[in-house]
Structure 1
Amino acid sequence: MIVRIMGEGQLRVDDSHLSGLNKLDDELLAEVQSGDEDGFRRTLGALLDCVRSLGDPLPDDSLEPSELILPRPDTTLHEVRAMLRDDGLIPG
């Protein structure tokens, strides 16, 4: 799957990593819903670090459609709350 981290670019992440990413996403969703700013910041960082470490960056001139878009590392809890669906940032 192609994942875009806003402000950074796109990475190709193997679908086999989706369940691990979903666990972090579930944690992030709970922290956003409870207003846990410290937990939110920690988990968002962990999610983005995980995608960066598991993914292979695509060239900057690549025009692949992103299947998943994640927020910038400095995105606020309030901004992420506006981006969330019922199942978090990652569908499934």
Structure 2
Amino acid sequence: MIVRIMGEGQVKLSDDRFAELNKLDDELLEEMENGDGPGFRRTLDQLLDAVRRLGEPLPDDALEPSELILPAPDATLEEVRAMLSDDGLIPG
């Protein structure tokens, strides 16, 4: 699966890595619902770091369709809230 981190680029990520990412996504959703700004920032950083660590960056000139788009590292709670679906940022 191709994941885009807004403002950074794309990463190719194996489907078997999504269990770890879904756990962080669930935490992020809960923190957002509770208005926990510091928790939101910490978990968003952890989620983006996990994508970078577990995935393989695509070259900057690659234009693959992204199956998942994650917010930029400096995104606000309100900006991320606007991106959410019922499942959070990561479906499933």
CA distances 1:23-82 after superposition (whole Å, capped 9, x unpaired): 000000001111000000000000000000011000111111001100001000011111
* Structure 2 residues without counterparts, runs of 5 or longer: none
Which 4+ stretches in 1 moved above 3 angstroms? none
TM-score normalised to the size of structure 2? 0.98
AA paired with 1:53? R
AA paired with 1:35? G
TM-score normalised to the size of structure 1? 0.98
AA paired with 1:89? L
* Structure 1 residues without counterparts, runs of 5 or longer: none
RMSD of equivalent CA atoms? 0.5
Percent of paired sites with the same residue: 73
